[in-house]
Structure 1
Amino acid sequence: MVINSALEIAAVGLSEEQADAAGFAPEVARASLGGCVKARAHHDYEGFFEVVHDTETGQLLGGCIVGPEAGEQIHLLAAACQSPRGLWLLKDMSYSHPSWCEELETAIDPYTAALSRSGKELFTPGILAML
């Protein structure tokens, strides 16, 4: 879904509330666009990324982008939601610089680090199904 307004709003997959109702153990990673180099270059600091993932499996469940060109960026989250690698796909991606999407990696860093310490990055259900 994309809503064009003063700030574009784009979302894909499940929200935190929907994920909780569906029986997942959701956690939301957030990052403001205020720290983004491209935001500073454009003097446009409003906006954020939200990424919803399951704490049990690390599975990416959904996300929301609010800010400039959100409708052009949501495809990145949509592809990651469909991938068994989910968060890891986003973490391992090379982001162009400067870009709005750079803050997406900032949002997920604490969660991928925690999952990595637990060993879950190698053994998510999607990866096991592929073996």
Structure 2
Amino acid sequence: MVTKPEEKMPEPKMDAAALYREDVYTDRKVGTIRRLVPVKADGSPDDARKPSYIGEAQILTTVGSMPLSFEIPAQSLEEAIARYGDAAKRAVERAVQELQELRRQASSSILIPEPGAGGLGGMPGGGLPGGGLPGGGKIKLP
């Protein structure tokens, strides 16, 4: 039996008990802070939940700018502004670590046959004279 793509996708449904209003603040130099204010389904403030503060920034990489989004632990906008710098630094550090890990994974996923493992045209070591590439194993990218 063939199912249609629309039958596989669950119906998107918003959670009326988890709504937020966004207030956006920026200094137009360093970044942006979004204050997520909890609201009820009718749009009135939901005082049973606390606002959240989300910082946003961009870092420049060799392939272009990369957006960052990070939570700022704060109880007020004034506190979020004061803590923005430290939270942004931690987000940049995490992004750099993730990029380094992705680079490491990409470089270790390129494999060549081990010497003597057979290869192109039934020649030992991938068909190169002398048993293949020296050292065998993985190609290391700079």
Q: Same fold (TM over 0.5)?
A: no
Q: TM-score, normalised by structure 1?
A: 0.25
Relative contact order higher in (CA < 8 Å, ≥ 6 apart): 1
Pick the structure with more helix per residue: 1
Q: TM-score if structure 2 supplies the norm length?
A: 0.24
Greater CA radius of gyration, 1 or 2?
Answer: 2
